[in-house]
Structure 1
Amino acid sequence: MTNMMNIMKDVIAFRRDLHRYPELSGEEYETSRKIQEKLAEYGIPYQTGFAGTGVLGIIEGDQPGPTVGLRADIDALPITEKTDEAFRSTIDGVMHACGHDAHTAMLLGTGRLLMAERHNIAGKVLLIFQPAEEDSPTGGAAQMLEDGVFAEHQPDVLVAQHVWPSLPAGQIGVVPGPIMGNSDRFQITVRGSGGHASMPHDTVDALAAANQIFTALQTIVSRNANPFDPAVITVGKMEGGYRYNVIADEVVMEGTIRTQSDAMKHIIKHRFHEVVQGVASSMQAEANIIYYDGYPATVNTERWARRVKQTAAREFGAQQVPEVSPSLGGEDFGRFLERYPGVYYWLGTSIGEGQKPLHDPGFMLDEAALEKGVTLMRQLALDILKDLKDGHYD
């Protein structure tokens, strides 16, 4: 097998290079070019032209067989980095704060390993480098599918891994069924009529109406949602008003709705519109709602979630595969799993004390965990191909 130490040096160097020069969703031109250069260096054939900057590597085994696809996302976030890393972002206002640099580097390392042993592979491995994962609700997955990323090579199973700072470095988290949630967004523009602070009776206070809407929205989850079917409504931004002695005529509210099941999504969405309009009307204000249906829940196929657990336990020990709970975070990989069976799992990358969460300006990860990410993804590809060829999944 290709020397693992050399591969990991390359993986970490590539990850750090991407981290220094991050690119936002839809702008991953240099990132895509660097991926293509590495694939060429490793002798891996590839195709481009998917969702603008997406790349598909194709590793064909010497023997015929099924096809497994491995996916990594490649875009960064509009965040100014606040770490002391020697390789911190050099691009003001852009940062790999979600680990996509590590995902990309690990997939390249996995591809390099598999390419070196293709003579023993019965089947095909696809390396899917997806842009614009952070660009919710649009995303890059749907566009890759529309652009025919699998037109020539149809996967039987799709796999993705994501760094997870709440898990100790090297541990693996996976659950059957939903592991990530439906992630919708909304914008509410509340309109009233402004005036002088000393004469509120001549106005319709948009700030007062917006605050009533804010409070009433929280009753949807507490009184309309089944407590055993997770749901969250968060208003993350409210803007309005001019100065201390002016009653606001307009307030804009922005937020997100997270659910696990589609049934709960429909309940929350329906009640959201009813509550916003009802409260606004009761306050003699108007409310204009823009609702964005975002990424669907990421729903793991049970047999492939079980395969991740079995392979990870065999490679690292059962204690490294703890029981975990699903997250209501959004993930564009859900759109791939609407079309194909597959699995999405977490790779623990916690640095311990001082760990910041994903999407935080101070987010860092333990690079020592990346070797386990490469090891597991390679072995999963081989195990899944064998499962498919043998016709069993246990």
Structure 2
Amino acid sequence: MNLIDAVLAQSAGIAAIRRDIHAHPELCFEEVRTADLVAQKLTEWGIPVHRGMGTTGVVGIVHGRDGGKNGRAIGLRADMDALPMTEFNTFAHASRHQGKMHACGHDGHTAMLLAAAQHLSQHRDFEGTVYLIFQPAEEGGGGAREMIKDGLFEKFPVEAVFGMHNWPGMPVGTFAVSSGPVMASTNEFKIIVTGKGGHAAMPNTGIDPVPIACQMVQGFQTILTRNKKPVDAGVISVTMIHAGEATNVIPDSCEIQGTVRTFTTEVLDLIERRMREVAEGISTAFGAQCDFSFTRNYPPTVNTAYEADFARRVMTDIVGADKALAQEPTMGAEDFAYMLQARPGAYCFIANGDGAHRGKYEGGGHDAGPCVLHNPHYDFNDELIPLGGSYWIKLAQAWLAHQPPKDRPMPAGVV
């Protein structure tokens, strides 16, 4: 493995920062302590800092040996927020705040970018500028969108922007990246079916919204199997059905909620339209009323081809071609998608292992639960810090050392 020796030597100190962040998780747009810590470390290393973008975002500015005078720049992004869930781990750096936990590894993402920042500031063996983007509120808050609204790419113009997420289950020492859609859009729906309540022993006197809702849930799945092309990916998951207060009462209404995931806007348009038609049609057929609402949240995360291939070449230099894998698309969502709508770039996965690293902590006490994302037993693997840090550094150096073709494909949002 071709790691940068200086990053490896400094990784223990960065790991201590990571565990401190893990012990003090902060939810979206509340990352005050985390942002303070990030800004403090960047300042200690001689890196100018811009704060407050997207509420609690931090941007570090690292100029190369030319002082950034050539005007070229690359953006590297890490997210900082935690999840609103209770941690079950009992190791020393477990969350000290009940109901808040770094269960997705954003503490590790921040640490890997800090490792790169420390090295880049000490060596500056490149020409141009590296913008270190520490983003708030990835977990549902759309922090990337808010930073862009605040002028992220106007204040810090980049040729390309790159992101990285740890991925449990893959063996440590592997990466994955591919062009095209790699994470899905996330969308929510809420349907209220209003019938006519009555006595459960005399259902003929009312309009029962519960079987109407059940018909809808079944009908939605035919959209995926009979309306959508079989080769196009899409998910409709009904995750909540609420109705009734007593066993002998037919309720007046029934509420259905859930999520829709797709890789393209075209498939999303189809699903939303057909869901509305199915919901309203079934309600009308049974004499009920239907209030249908559909909210589009994060768009799909779509890597541009040139940048994904470039990232793969850097990974190959570090871990070898056999460990720079094709990225299997996932129906999970990521608000880095907003940045990839505004600038070309690539979002990759770095393997987090199977959770065995938790047994290496002094005193143990990790409870041996599954180490998967959004699980109360999850923890980021600190072995990734020198690997991820080396990737960020080599990626920035390689990008700024070459001239990307001007005619390479761009996201639709780039003018």
TM over 0.5: yes
Match of 1:134 in 2: 139
Please give the per-residue CA displacement for 1:189-220, whole angstroms capped at 9, x wherever unaligned: 22222222111111222222211111111111
Please give the per-residue CA displacement for 1:18-72, whole angstroms capped at 9, x wherever unaligned: 1111111111111111111111111111101211101110001122331000001
Match of 1:84 in 2: 90
Amino acid in the other structure paired with 1:251: C
Match of 1:369 in 2: 384
Please say if 1:40 is aligned against 2:46. no
**Which aligned pairs between 1:1-394 and structure 2 lie closer than 5 A?**
3-63=6-66, 64-65=69-70, 66-118=72-124, 120-135=125-140, 139-351=142-354, 355-388=370-403
Amino acid in the other structure paired with 1:382: Q
User: 2: CA distance between counterparts of 1:56 and 1:365?
Assistant: 23
Is contact 1:351-1:364 (8 Å) kept?
no
DSSP 3-state at the match of 2:201: coil
Is contact 2:8-2:386 (8 Å) kept?
no
Is contact 2:86-2:101 (8 Å) kept?
yes
Mark the CA change 1:276 to 1:392 in structure 2 (over 3 Å): closer, same or farther.
closer
My pick for the range that moved more, 339-348 or 311-320, is: 311-320
Please give the per-residue CA displacement for 1:175-198, whole angstroms capped at 9, x wherever unaligned: 111111111111112222222211
CA deviation after TM superposition for structure 1 residue 7, in Å: 2.3
Please give the per-residue CA displacement for 1:261-309, whole angstroms capped at 9, x wherever unaligned: 2211111111111111112222222221221111111111111111111
User: 1: CA distance between counterparts of 2:255 and 2:405?
Assistant: 57
User: 2: CA distance between counterparts of 1:203 and 1:392?
Assistant: 65
User: 2: CA distance between counterparts of 1:189 and 1:357?
Assistant: 34
TM-score normalized with structure 1 length: 0.94
Is contact 1:351-1:365 (8 Å) kept?
no
User: 1: CA distance between counterparts of 2:156 and 2:162?
Assistant: 15
TM-score normalized with structure 2 length: 0.89
User: 1: CA distance between counterparts of 2:28 and 2:35?
Assistant: 12
CA deviation after TM superposition for structure 1 residue 150, in Å: 2.7
Is contact 1:300-1:344 (8 Å) kept?
yes
Is contact 2:23-2:96 (8 Å) kept?
yes
Mark the CA change 1:105 to 1:352 in structure 2 (over 3 Å): closer, same or farther.
closer
CA deviation after TM superposition for structure 1 residue 85, in Å: 3.2
CA deviation after TM superposition for structure 1 residue 12, in Å: 1.2
Amino acid in the other structure paired with 1:125: V
User: 1: CA distance between counterparts of 2:168 and 2:312?
Assistant: 19
Mark the CA change 1:312 to 1:392 in structure 2 (over 3 Å): closer, same or farther.
farther
CA deviation after TM superposition for structure 1 residue 229, in Å: 1.2
DSSP 3-state at the match of 1:295: coil
User: 1: CA distance between counterparts of 2:74 and 2:200?
Assistant: 64
Please give the per-residue CA displacement for 1:314-353, whole angstroms capped at 9, x wherever unaligned: 1111121123321121111111111111110000102257
User: 1: CA distance between counterparts of 2:179 and 2:146?
Assistant: 26
Is contact 1:72-1:160 (8 Å) kept?
yes
DSSP 3-state at the match of 1:168: coil
User: 1: CA distance between counterparts of 2:262 and 2:268?
Assistant: 6
Is contact 2:113-2:389 (8 Å) kept?
yes
Is contact 1:196-1:246 (8 Å) kept?
yes
DSSP 3-state at the match of 2:170: strand
Amino acid in the other structure paired with 2:120: L
Is contact 1:351-1:366 (8 Å) kept?
no
Amino acid in the other structure paired with 1:82: F
CA deviation after TM superposition for structure 1 residue 251, in Å: 2.0
My pick for the range that moved more, 3-12 or 29-38, is: 3-12
Identity value in percent: 37
User: 2: CA distance between counterparts of 1:15 and 1:207?
Assistant: 48
DSSP 3-state at the match of 1:3: helix
Amino acid in the other structure paired with 1:260: F
DSSP 3-state at the match of 1:384: helix
User: 2: CA distance between counterparts of 1:268 and 1:249?
Assistant: 28
User: 2: CA distance between counterparts of 1:306 and 1:168?
Assistant: 22
